[in-house]
Amino acid sequence: MIRVLFFASLREQLGTGEMRLDDFSGDIAALRESLCGERPEWRQYLASDPIRTALNQVLVGADATVADGDEVAFFPPVTGG
């Protein structure tokens, strides 16, 4: 299982701040595509390049591998406190 978090304006746009996925394997790019495939209305928010991603609280690129037990966080490039 992986934990997926959405912060700032993404949380508001997607209508959720957190979800859990039981059966996922791949990298960040594949995770984004999987989420957009399950919820097509999210594509306009998650598929844009400025979205930043953290894997276990470390900023990563789209090629970072996600493993069982990981936490992935998506957030816009500028977030406030």
Q: pLDDT category, 75, cuts 50, 70, 90?
A: very high
80 occurs within a structural domain: no
35 occurs within a structural domain: yes
- For residue 38, the enclosing domain spans 2-75
Convert the pLDDT of each residue in 3-34 to its tens digit.
999 999 999 999 999 999 998 999 999 999 99
The domain total for the chain is 1
21 occurs within a structural domain: yes
Nearest to 6 by CA among 38, 35, 37: 35
81 occurs within a structural domain: no
Task: State pTM to two decimals.
Answer: 0.91
Please state, in angstroms and as integers, the Cα–Cα distance from residue 22 to each residue in 2, 3, 47, following that order.
7, 9, 22
How much is the pLDDT for 14?
95
Convert the pLDDT of each residue in 23-70 to its tens digit.
899 999 999 999 999 999 999 999 877 899 999 999 999 999 999 999
How much is the pLDDT for 81?
55
- The CATH number of residue 38's host domain is 3.10.20.30
